[in-house]
Amino acid sequence: VIPSKYIEEAVNAMASLPGVGRKTALRYVLHMLSRSEEDVEHFAKALVQLRTHLKRCKVCQNVSDFDICAICSNPQRDNSTICVVEDVRDVMAIESTHQYKGLYHVLGGRISPMEGIGPGDLSISPLIGRLTHTAVKELILALSPTMEGDTTAFYIYRKVPAGSAFEITTLTRGVAVGDELQYTDEVTLGRSIALRTPYQKG
Ligand SMILES: [Zn+2]
């Protein structure tokens, strides 16, 4: 039994995080009590700022402090290549390999009838819009090698305007089936993005 409603509330908040049970939550909360008031305020402020100031890039939907993210606005990046990923963690994973110099498009998930996520819930229409308005030479479908990832890749493949001149590629499957992109080690992922292959439907 927790002897304080303040502790109880803080534990409930911590325990709502993925992978944090009540025991761990209590440990974090008691740890916070040992820190200075200034430290705890800084901690809370960092979280609130994240929610109020963080934006989605208007072009690629990546997280950004500005309307256009640091990748889209970087003139050194190759804007003829767009790499389609499920979420922001995939962008971070691919960036950490230093093997890719093009742009991204973050879908915000993958098609999953089981979870009630349809194409309309993802940023697929903005992607198709980008493809028709920019001089794209290559579209990389870097979705996770799961059934949902494959379904999403195939859906996008079908939506690409007929007669488009660009190449559609995918990561080489050094990434084992069922793996999430962001959990693949850097070397394997780096090789997968460097040695990409033409997309084959089915
Ligand atoms: Zn962007």
Structure-token match 């089915």, residue found: 202
Is residue 193 within 8 Å of 97, Cβ to Cβ?
yes
Q: How far away, in angstroms, is 51 Cα from ligand 1 center? A: 18
Q: How far away, in angstroms, is 103 Cα from ligand 1 center? A: 7
DSSP letter for 21, please.
-
Q: How far away, in angstroms, is 131 Cα from ligand 1 center? A: 14
Q: How far away, in angstroms, is 70 Cα from ligand 1 center? A: 7
Structure-token match 């200034």, residue found: 38
Is residue 140 within 8 Å of 82, Cβ to Cβ?
yes
What percent of the chain is modeled with pLDDT above 70?
94
Is residue 172 within 8 Å of 196, Cβ to Cβ?
yes
pLDDT at position 182, please? Answer: 64
Is residue 107 within 8 Å of 50, Cβ to Cβ?
no
Q: How far away, in angstroms, is 69 Cα from ligand 1 center? A: 4
pLDDT at position 202, please? Answer: 58
Contacts of 113 (CB under 8 A, 6+ apart): none
Instruction: Give me the torsion for CA of 30, 31, 37, 40, rounded to 10°.
Output: -110
pLDDT in tens, 96-132: 999 999 999 999 999 999 999 999 999 999 999 999 8
pTM > 0.85: no
Q: How far away, in angstroms, is 138 Cα from ligand 1 center? A: 17
pLDDT at position 162, please? Answer: 82
